[in-house]
Every structure is written in structure tokens, then in C-alpha cells.
């Protein structure tokens, strides 16, 4: 059964954290995570990566059980028998998608998540769960000129992280263009278990 936790800001809301803990099949100290910070290229973005890491550690997850993924270093790769969860941090969505595809890891993640490996997305990590990421151009920049923007298709809807009323016009335009959209405010999460979808936070 497919299991996703799509967030704007990670596990900084107790309701989201509680949902995460209810989904995992092990105690936190036994949980092994593949941590993907690839989308973050600036110091500001890395600040939020460190925030996500600290949130995981505060749950009692062992630092040695958090494997940092580097798409340019195959020694950091893990397969679905070595981890219980894939945690994809925020940053630039287009760069993230490009590097995952370039590394060959994109197809592996699709296979493993469809087989039931837990996927946690933060911001850009949530956006790439959609069928295509081109919709997010109103709040992100394709500064690498990525042409093929097809994404994981774990969910049919396109997630708008960090949603505020300022995004309302853009969301209206997307829906008018026939794009299925779900908004995720800071502190909220979209929880997917098989065909069941709920929002928490």
C-alpha cells in the first residue's frame, strides 16, 4: 500500500508529527531514513534542511540511521531493504527532479514507494509527488532549463505548499486550466494511504 506524508514545512506541527509516528512500523530509534537534501543549493535552503534533520532527531531517530543522499556519490545510495522511509527536503523543485532523474534514482523511488516504502516530502519534495511539476512555476524557478518536467505521479493532484491567500489567484488559474490542485499551508500535511487521502494539521 502506498504511504505518503506530503508537507510544506516538515514535522513542525504536533498533528503532523503524530501522524508520521502512526504511519511508521517501527519505534523511532529503529527507523532508518534515506534523507534527500538535493533540492537545497543555498545557505537559506540548507537552514531548512538542518531544521528537518533536527525534527527527526528530536523524535528519537538515531543520527546513524539517517543516510544523506548525494546524487553524485553512489556510495550514499540505499535500496528499499536498507531504509524504512525516504525523506525528501525542500529547495528548488526543478533541480531536485533533474538530479534524481540524472542519477537513475527517480525510477527506483517510484518502484519502492508504489510497493509501500514510506515517502515524506517537504515543500519541493511534496511538489514532485504530482504527475508534473510545471505548475509550480508561479512560485519556483526553472533556472536549469529542465525540459521534461514529468514527476512521480504518486498522487493525481498538484500540491501547493506554503499556501496563503496570496496564492489564491494562481490556484484559481490552475484549476481553470483543468489542473487538480490541493493546497498545503505551513504546518499542514497531506496523508496518503493507498487510495485514502486526508489533510492534517
Q: Please state the domain extents for the chain.
A: 3-200
List of residues 6+ apart from 30 with CB closer than 8 A = 65
Q: Which of 103, 150, 162, 185 is catalytic?
A: 162
Give me the pLDDT at residue 77, please: 94
Q: What backbone torsions phi and psi does residue 86 show, to the nearest 5 degrees? A: -110, 125
Q: For the whole model, what pTM was predicted?
A: 0.94
Name the fold adopted by 3-200: Rossmann fold (3.40.50)
pLDDT tens for the chain, 201 residues long, are: 899 999 999 998 999 999 999 999 889 999 999 999 987 888 877 888 899 999 999 999 999 999 999 999 999 999 999 999 999 999 999 999 999 999 999 999 999 999 999 999 999 999 999 999 999 999 999 999 999 999 999 999 999 999 999 999 999 999 999 999 999 999 999 999 988 889 988
Cα–Cα distance, 68 to 40 (Å, whole number): 13
Active site residue 172: no
| Alpha helix positions (H), the chain | 14-23, 43-58, 93-103, 105-114, 124-127, 168-176
Q: Do residues 162 and 140 touch, judged by C-beta distance below 8 A?
A: no
Give me the pLDDT at residue 201, please: 84
Q: Which of 8, 40, 52, 123 is catalytic?
A: 123
Q: Do residues 52 and 122 touch, judged by C-beta distance below 8 A?
A: yes
- How far does CA 120 lie from the centroid of its chain? 5
Give me the pLDDT at residue 180, please: 94
Give me the pLDDT at residue 45, please: 77
Q: Do residues 96 and 38 touch, judged by C-beta distance below 8 A?
A: yes
Active site residue 75: no
Give me the pLDDT at residue 140, please: 94
Amino acid at each position: 500500500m502506498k504511504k505518503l506524508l506530503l508537507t510544506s514545512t516538515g514535522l513542525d506541527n504536533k498533528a503532523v508529527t503524530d501522524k508520521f509516528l502512526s504511519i511508521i512500523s517501527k519505534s523511532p530509534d529503529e527507523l532508518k531514513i534515506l534523507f534527500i537534501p538535493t533540492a537545497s543549493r543555498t545557505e537559506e535552503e540548507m537552514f531548512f534542511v538542518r531544521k528537518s534533520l533536527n525534527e527527526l532527531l528530536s523524535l528519537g531517530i538515531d543520527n546513524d540511521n539517517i543516510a544523506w543522499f548525494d546524487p553524485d556519490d553512489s556510495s550514499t545510495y540505499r535500496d528499499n531493504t536498507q531504509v524504512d522511509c525516504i525523506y525528501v527536503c525542500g529547495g528548488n523543485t526543478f533541480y531536485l527532479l533533474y538530479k534524481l532523474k540524472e542519477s537513475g534514482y527517480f525510477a527506483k523511488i517510484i518502484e519502492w514507494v508504489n510497493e509501500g516504502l514510506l515517502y515524506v516530502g517537504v515543500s519541493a519534495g511534496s511538489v514532485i509527488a504530482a504527475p508534473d511539476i510545471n505548475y509550480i512555476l508561479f512560485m519556483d524557478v526553472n533556472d536549469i532549463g529542465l525540459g521534461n518536467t514529468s514527476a512521480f505521479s504518486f498522487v493525481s493532484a498538484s500540491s501547493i505548499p506554503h499556501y496563503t491567500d496570496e496564492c489564491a489567484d494562481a490556484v484559481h488559474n490552475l484549476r481553470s486550466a483543468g489542473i487538480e490542485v490541493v493546497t498545503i499551508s505551513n504546518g499542514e500535511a497531506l496523508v496518503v494511504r493507498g487510495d485514502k487521502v486526508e489533510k492534517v494539521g
